Structures are given as C-alpha cells and as structure tokens.
Structure 1
Amino acid sequence: MVTNNKVLLTNLILVMFLGSLLLTGCNSFPTNASSSSDTLSDTQIEPVSTNTSSKEMTDNLPRLEGMAKVELTVNGSPVILEINGVDAPITAGNFVDLVQKGVYDGLVFHRVIKSPQPFVAQGGDPQGKDPNFPVSRLGTGGYVDESGSKRLIPLEIKLEGDSEPTYSKGLGQQAGVSSPNVALKHERGALAMARSAPPDSASSQFYIALADLEFLDGDYAVFGKVVQGMDVVNGINQGDRIESAKVIEGTENLQ
C-alpha cells in the first residue's frame, strides 16, 4: 500500500508539471508545482499553419544533416552536448545555427527544478542577454532575426522505424499514446526544446532533463544529449548563466 501511494504521488507530481509546461508557454517549467500566471497570449504565439506542408514549413529553416557537438561553459566548467541532426534535422539545425550566431552566450537558466524530484534546467530566452532584465520575468522570449520576425520551428518527432520525422503533431500523451516508440527519448541528460501549447511554437528556449522523463516523449522534441559534464548540469541553479556556447564538431553538417 505504501508503495502504491508513493507511485500515485509521483504520477500526480508529474501530471502537475506537465500541465504547467503546457500552460505557461515557453516559460514552460515553474519553480514549483503550482500554476504560473505569466502565460503567453495569442498575440505572442505565431504557430505555423496546420495547412502548411512539412516541406513548406522547413524550407527556410537551418538543417543539420548529420551530427554535431556543442560546448557550453557554465560556472567555469564545460558541458558537451551531442546534437542529433539524423533524427531531428530541423530542431538540431536551429540550435546549432543559434549557437553559431552567439545567441546563447550570456543567457540565463531561468527555470531549474530539482525538487521534489529532479526535473529540468531550462534556458535560452534572449531577453536574458540584458543583465538588468529580471530573471523572474524570463521565459516568454525567442530568437528574433534581422528582419524583426520571431523564428519559430515546428514540433519534430521521429518514431523508430520511420524514415522521416513527423511535424506539427504530438505523438505522445497529448495524442493518447502513453509510451510512443520515439527515436530520441527523454532520458537523463536529454536536450529538448521548450514550447507553448501550439506544437509549432518553439524558438530558442531549451531544457536539459535532470532525470528520465518518459512521460514527455512524443510531445516535446528531443534533439541531443549531454555526453560530458552532467555533474556540471546537476550543479546548475536558477540564475546561472551560459558563459559561452560554441560548436566544436560538425559545423560542416549545418545547411
């Protein structure tokens, strides 16, 4: 009975986290299990039309045709990320392109959840470039290009055995599938994109899983993993900054 109650409590906590992730947009992960009030309004979200084909959605976005590695420096120590353009070419290409543009240099980890159980470390809001911008207000920003337009990328999920990813559609719990057979899973150290409720609303914000989070599989796009420095990731606290981000392998694979 004690074991069953413990399982039920864990499942309840995870459901509360997931609900907050959906409700708070790119400010996806609250500092606790309570709901957040800083949701994105419809005017802040510009989802790709569901009538747009995958090819039309992705034609003008960077692609990573292969693998790459990115080094983040956090608290003076390196974190090496393996970026998977084989199974998530658009999501991976977007991240590598933003790293090369220097977008992540100096940005804040504005949501770090370690209790009541390890969850995520989330960062990548460009508003955090301003040292005077309050960390408590971060979580609604995304990458804005030279034309003044916010770059949005489609939800990209590849199932094992599929030759191409599925775009703009959740394939996990949001679609009623409890254990989707995804190619890239939310295992501890997984690198994935934060987004708001519309599937095509990710931009620059990302998170690193601090534990296995299989209940997110199929609904949020994993595009890489930590291959070195997970101890550094575990030591990240809310307000810590990415001192630098650079591509150390695979730049030739960015198209």
Structure 2
Amino acid sequence: MRSLALALTLLASPALATGLQIEVAGEGANGTITIDLREDIAPQHVKQISELAAEGAYDDVVFHRVIEGFMAQTGDVEHGKFGGDMRRAGTGASTRPDLPAEFSDVPFDRGVVGMARAQSPNSANSQFFIMFSEGHFLNGQYTVVGEVTDGMEVVDAIKRGTGRNGAVVGAPDRMVSVTVID
C-alpha cells in the first residue's frame, strides 16, 4: 500500500530535474560533465541532489577521494569546499536528512553515478561518485542516481588521490558550478 501511495505521489508531483551540468576545474580536469539523472529508479536521491545543486551547495566542492581505475567522489557540501581544511573533506553532509536506500538493478558500469554512504545503507546524503570503470561489487549495495552522458574525458582527467583510500593531496579538482538542466 505504501509503494502505491509513493507511486501516486510521484505521478502527481511536478517532473524532477533530468540532469546536471558540472563545470570542473583544477590541476587535472577542466571542462563540462553532463549527467542524466535517473528519477525513475532513485526519485528521493535525485530530488535531494537537484535541490542541493539549485541552491548552489555543490559549487566549489572538491573531488576529495579519487581512486585510479575505480571512481571519483565529491559532494561533501559541509567540509569539501575548495580552499577549506581538506583533512575533513569526505566526512560531512548537507543539513538535510539522510536518505533511505533506493537500490536498483542498474549495474555500476563506467560513467554511472552512485550515492556515497557510510556503513548504513540508509545514510546517503549529499556525496556522490562517478565510476571510471565497472564496479559490479557495488551492485545492490549503493544507490544509482544517474550516468554521464557527455564529458567522460573530463571525468577521466580528474586528479587522482594516493593510497588505498584515494585521498587527494594538494589542490584537488573541484566542481566550480553545478547546474540543474531539463
């Protein structure tokens, strides 16, 4: 009954954003990434990301965790602002509540965008990651929110981190602006 009520609410709601345009700048990547958001499989996550982007919360947020052959993580709107204390980047979130998982059958392939989270599956908030290559071990454990439709060469150029956790040393690349597109 609850899923029917959610479906009816979504049908009655105005359409969510269909994508994001991210302007990236830094030592590694410079250019535009376009992401098609998947409100059909993760409506709550897409709504949260879209609202944060529309408010400018993602502007000047760094890619704080970048692992070669795996993914680039960003979206810490609390501690990940460019020019801030990067030692805490990746530990913050927005002031909005965490989201319940919206797992799907969409696999984590190259260019797929997923929500980062803590140990609890229901702890995603503002951080997200973009896959450099397939990572099917994430399937069914993280929420897919979209996929890169243009600018994968920009994603590939994002400055890599070091060590097992991929922490970026020095000046990380950043999302200069994140715009919601139709």
Which of the five TM-score ranges fits, normalised by the shorter chain? 0.7 to 0.9
Give the C-alpha shift of residue 113 in structure 1.
0.4
TM-score of the pair, normalised by structure 2: 0.80
Question: Could you say what secondary structure the match of 1:203 adopts?
Answer: coil
Q: Could you tell me which of 96, 100, 116 is aligned with 1:154? A: 100
What one-letter code is carried by the residue in structure 2 that aligns with 1:246? T
Q: Could you tell me which of 154, 167, 178 is aligned with 1:245? A: 178
Give the C-alpha shift of residue 87 in structure 1.
1.4
Which has the higher Rg, Structure 1 or Structure 2? Answer: 1
2:21 corresponds to:
71
Percent identity for Structure 1 against Structure 2:
35
Choose between structure 1 and 2: higher helix proportion. 1
Preserved CA contact (<8 Å) 1:64 1:93: no
2:83 corresponds to:
131
> In structure 1, how many angstroms separate the alpha carbons of the residues matched to 2:54 and 2:17?
15
Preserved CA contact (<8 Å) 2:24 2:174: yes
Choose between structure 1 and 2: higher strand proportion. 2
1:252 corresponds to:
none
> In structure 1, how many angstroms separate the alpha carbons of the residues matched to 2:14 and 2:35?
14
Q: Could you tell me which of 40, 43, 56 is aligned with 1:86? A: 40
2:120 corresponds to:
198
1:42 corresponds to:
none
Aligned length: 159
> In structure 2, how many angstroms separate the alpha carbons of the residues matched to 1:125 and 1:153?
15
**Counterparts in 2 of 1:68 and 1:125: CA distance versus 1, 3 Å:** same
Preserved CA contact (<8 Å) 1:107 1:128: yes
1:218 corresponds to:
140
Q: Could you tell me which of 39, 59, 70 is aligned with 1:105? A: 59
TM-score of the pair, normalised by structure 1: 0.58
Preserved CA contact (<8 Å) 2:82 2:174: no
Give the C-alpha shift of residue 84 in structure 1.
0.8
Structure 1, 67-76 or 96-105: larger mean CA deviation:
67-76
Q: Could you tell me which of 150, 156, 159 is aligned with 1:228? A: 150
Q: Deviations over 1:165-215 (max 9, x none)?
A: xxxxxxxxxxxxxxxxx1x22010000100011111111000001101111
Give the C-alpha shift of residue 129 in structure 1.
2.1
What one-letter code is carried by the residue in structure 2 that aligns with 1:80? T
Gap runs ≥5 in structure 1:
1-52, 145-149, 159-181, 250-255
Q: Deviations over 1:86-122 (max 9, x none)?
A: 11111111111111111100001000000xxx00100
